[in-house]
Amino acid sequence: MVAGPSLRICLVYDCLFPYTVGGAERWYRNLATRLAAEGHEVTYLTRVQWEPGERPELPGVRIVALPPRIGLYTGSGRRRMDQAVLFGRGVLGHLLRHGRRYDVVHTAQFPFFSLLAAAAVRPVAGFRIVVDWHEVWTPAYWIEYLGPVLGRVGWAIQRLCARATERAFTFSRLHAERLRGEGMRGEIFIYGGSYGGPKEPRPGPEPREPTVVFAGRHIPEKRVGAIPPAMQRVRRDAPELRAVIYGDGPDRPGLLAAVEGDEAVDAPGFVSSEEIERGLASATVMVLPSRREGLGLVVIEAASFGTPSVVVADPDSASPELIEEGVNGTVAASTDPEELAAAILRVRAGGAALRRSTAAWFAVNGPRLHADAALALAAESYRAEAQTVAGLRPT
């Protein structure tokens, strides 16, 4: 049960696990069920993302789905702006009608229009707003993502949202610093991570399979296409190594075309979480060539099995924050095939000793990076709000 008064909490995110799969989806599902189990009254406000007749359920959580049913991504793998606007409009309507029934609205920063909707209704409804800022984009990245006109509009909306945020949570130092730079003046807390597996290391079998594993969405930001050319270079020095690339997305057709006839690269597509865990547990190395990461959950998951990681240094990626060089992996300077291959070969050369130190790293850092610690921090934030909202409850 919750310590202190229970609160009426509305979680707002346009995706719901397992209908879409990712770190944020798992985070909000875990947060919703944790808060409900603690005795709070929880509503999960999302979009319709399942077939007609289906009824998604979370224990103790009321799910409110906003129409229309619309995809998240364009054909090029970019987020659809019309979807963001439609979801924001739905959130605005819901909160105008029902906002007074909530004490706290906890939302992701993106899609921004839902946060702006909550900020617009807050003075009337009297709820408090808590915002998870998974990422904060630079002006240059906005322009690259949406073009010179819409990119500047996107950046301006991001700044507006930062200044509308009362209490913020991020998953990395990188994005906490950027959020402050965007004009956010309230409290900023940093979650350790959102890893949800066992807290103790569970080292994989030895000897390891000679595999290099990637697990994630096939979208431009993940740069999955960098793996095949790097593997060609790797195999000059380590011909036994092969790559297993899990996941799906708009970049998958290009990946399949690139590896056609290449027996050293297997791309099985979307598979169960159990199969991904088996792949990570038996791998020699996990590789994450992303140019943009809020933190890098898969690095933590791999380390739980004693599997070291290769990540890539990039101004928009916080994943290097998780790497202690030579302890639980290494940071490649870029996705250039030579650079990425050299990093993979450094991990291979570390062998069983590096895997032992990776497991030891997880034993020390796992509790801090576990979702339980982040969930406890979020719950404590709600308890801090209890006195503020107590006088605002409708009688």
Could you give all domains of the chain from N- to C-terminal order, each with its CATH number?
A: 8-195+370-389 (3.40.50.2000), 211-367 (3.40.50.2000)
Check: CB of residue 299 under 8 Å from CB of residue 306. Answer: no
Nearest to 200 by CA among 363, 13, 389: 363
* Whole-number Å distance between alpha carbons of 356 and 391: 54
Cα distance between residue 323 and residue 198, in whole Å:
20
Direct distance between the N- and C-terminal alpha carbons of the chain, in angstroms, rounded to an integer? 24
Q: What is the pLDDT of residue 365?
A: 95
How large is the greatest C-alpha to C-alpha distance in the chain, in angstroms?
73
Q: Is 283 left (phi over 0), alpha (psi -120 to 50) or beta?
A: beta
Nearest-angstrom CA–CA distance, 284 and 352: 9
- Residue 330 tokens read as 């290494």
For 105, counting Cβ atoms within 10 Å of its Cβ (0-12 exposed, 13-18 middle, 19+ buried), the class is buried
pLDDT of residue 390: 55
Residue 119, pLDDT score? 95
> Which residues contact residue 146 at a Cβ distance below 8 angstroms, ignoring those fewer than 6 apart?
78, 81, 153, 154
DSSP 79-117: BPHHHHHHHHHHHHHHHHHHGGG-SEEEEES-SHHHHHH
Query: What are the residues facing 204 on neighbouring strands?
Result: none
- Is this structure's pTM higher than 0.75? yes
Which residues of the chain have a pLDDT value below 50? 1-2, 392-395
Closest CA relative to residue 236, chosen from 351, 350, 342: 342
